[in-house]
Structure 1
Amino acid sequence: MQAITDAELDWRVYEVRSRREVAALLRQLFEKNTLIRLMIRGEADSCMTSLLQVDPEKGTIVLDRSVSREQNERIVSSGKLRCETSLDRIRIFFTIENIVETRFDGGTALRANFPASLVRLQRREFYRMSTPVTNPVYVTIPLPGEDDGGNAFLPLADISCGGIALLDNKGLLGTTIGQTFANCSIGLPDLGAITTSLQVRYALDVPMLNNKTNRRLGLQFVDMPGASLTAVQRYITRLERERNARQAGLA
């Protein structure tokens, strides 16, 4: 499996510019009272805050202020600051501008312009996205054999930038941990097919109510080309946006 560094990430893939999506994500941060790190002068000068109000109609957000008067003065005079937080184990970054002190709920807080965009940076080694059940994505896996062993066409269960899980109820691939299948093809909707090697990392037979079992296999990408990785990133981002839109009642 290829290691992925921050320098290799295409940040634009993770950027959310839709005002409705930005508002929906900020509301989730507000409702969960998520701590947000306000970077004033980098790591050396930062403070923890949280959202007190999200008002897309007025184009503003309200944040809790620092306990340090001097730090609040630096925040207000900065003009523009970066915020870092996480939501459901996904790192989120956004920038706020025109920060001023304001009265809020009987006290003093910080008001800023509504951020124009957010960056949601999922870490592939932790985060997986379920794929549609009603319109499944299929993986084509060449089966080994002395002659042409044929192909297995299996539906995805979830996907990350580190690998996939798929359903193999007929046991076409076996359960040998470490077995690698070369030249596998995944047909990503609207993005085309990508080709990669897949290595079996786990096999699990899940009992069902009808006394049958569903076999779930976890496979890791091996030596995936950069262009294919970018396509997977884009597909995951699209799935997340569709899910967030459903949760926000926009779809």
Structure 2
Amino acid sequence: MSQMALLSPSELDDDRYRVSGTRSVQFMLTGFIKERDQFTVFFGGNANDMYLTTLLAVDADDERLIFDISGSSDINRRLQNADRLTFAGKPGGIRVQFQTPAPSLVAYQGDKAFSVALPKSLMRVQRREYFRVHTPRGKPLMFDFKLPDGSPLSLPIYDLSVAGIGLNAETVPPSLDAPGIKLGRGKFFLPEDPREFDIEIVLRRIAEIENRSGSKVFRIGLQFIGLSFGEEGRIQRYIDRLERERRELM
């Protein structure tokens, strides 16, 4: 990661991206720790004043964040003399950045580590240009939801992003007659993830598509509402895994 990974001044000034409050900040940092997400720590004015680290623990009682030291004694020495630190990472494909005061050296689980005061807030920037991935066709994932009249419907998932989901349908129920219809909650599972997604959804589009065989199918686009940070991360990790597997086959 380089200086180019840092957020721009306009992004840092945009309160839409700011997560504030002790409990909210602790919750997010704990999630990064659980997933072992890595961050780059910037602490000076030149290109060598940085290193890649892993967040280790949140001490909620003392309001401290513990993170791994560098393998370089020179970097560790200069880090302790810095006025402030900037952490930048991309957990779950979402850009995160926060600042802290200078660290102190502590013992953590028998090893050396750094400890800093918890940040008062952090920036979490996710673009509107969400990356969408096509899901496997051989054994399609299924999405279950209810139509406006209350009848259940289960359709195969065509594509997926953290913003919403695309479904395949041979016919479109008459009750799906206009974009913007709230459909309550939809449910689905991702491979190798035992936790069910249960998410509020809104109908956004219906498109008629002609297959190579000449037959017609419909694509139903649904938007996720109120997706949690953790759910976004789970979906993004699935997308990253699919893309990695596809690159390996090329």
Q: Normalising by structure 1, what TM-score?
A: 0.53
Distance 1:57 1:28 in 2: 18
Runs of 4+ in 1 over 2 A off after TM superposition: 5-11, 157-160, 163-173, 184-187, 199-205, 243-247
Match of 1:180 in 2: none
Secondary structure at the counterpart of residue 67 of structure 1: coil
Distance 1:16 1:106 in 2: 33
Match of 1:91 in 2: 95
For 1:76, which of 61, 80, 97 is the aligned residue?
Answer: 80
Secondary structure at the counterpart of residue 125 of structure 1: coil
For 1:34, which of 33, 37, 41 is the aligned residue?
Answer: 37
Secondary structure at the counterpart of residue 50 of structure 1: strand
Contact 2:130 2:161 survives alignment (8 Å): no
Distance 1:203 1:217 in 2: 12
Figure out how many residues of one structure are paired with residues of the other and give that number: 169
Structure 1 residue 74 displacement after superposition: 1.3
The structure showing larger relative contact order (alpha-carbon pairs under 8 Å, at least 6 residues apart) is: 1
Structure 1 residue 20 displacement after superposition: 1.3
Cα deviation 1:47-69 (Å, max 9, x = unaligned): 00011111122110111001111
Q: What amino acid does structure 2 have at the position aligned with 1:19?
A: T
Inter-CA distance 105–218: structure 2 relative to 1 (3 Å threshold): closer
Distance 1:127 1:17 in 2: 27
Q: Normalising by structure 2, what TM-score?
A: 0.53
C-alpha root-mean-square deviation of aligned residues, in Å? 4.4
Inter-CA distance 85–245: structure 2 relative to 1 (3 Å threshold): closer
1:55 aligns with 2:59: yes
Structure 1 residue 31 displacement after superposition: 0.8
1:110 aligns with 2:123: no
Secondary structure at the counterpart of residue 110 of structure 1: strand
Distance 1:185 1:7 in 2: 35
1:126 aligns with 2:130: yes
Structure 1 residue 164 displacement after superposition: 9.4
Contact 1:51 1:62 survives alignment (8 Å): yes
Distance 1:116 1:68 in 2: 29
Structure 1 residue 105 displacement after superposition: 1.6
Q: What amino acid does structure 2 have at the position aligned with 1:38?
A: V
Match of 1:14 in 2: 17
Inter-CA distance 203–125: structure 2 relative to 1 (3 Å threshold): farther
Match of 2:185 in 1: none
Distance 1:6 1:112 in 2: 24
Inter-CA distance 203–51: structure 2 relative to 1 (3 Å threshold): farther
Distance 1:83 1:53 in 2: 15
Structure 1 gap segments, 5+ residues each: 137-156, 174-183, 188-198, 206-212, 220-234
Distance 1:118 1:52 in 2: 17
Structure 1 residue 124 displacement after superposition: 2.2
Match of 2:28 in 1: 25
Inter-CA distance 201–37: structure 2 relative to 1 (3 Å threshold): farther
Structure 1 residue 123 displacement after superposition: 2.4
Contact 1:203 1:217 survives alignment (8 Å): no
Distance 1:185 1:201 in 2: 11
Contact 1:98 1:112 survives alignment (8 Å): yes
Structure 2 gap segments, 5+ residues each: 1-6, 133-144, 149-159, 183-203, 211-216, 233-250
Contact 1:203 1:215 survives alignment (8 Å): yes
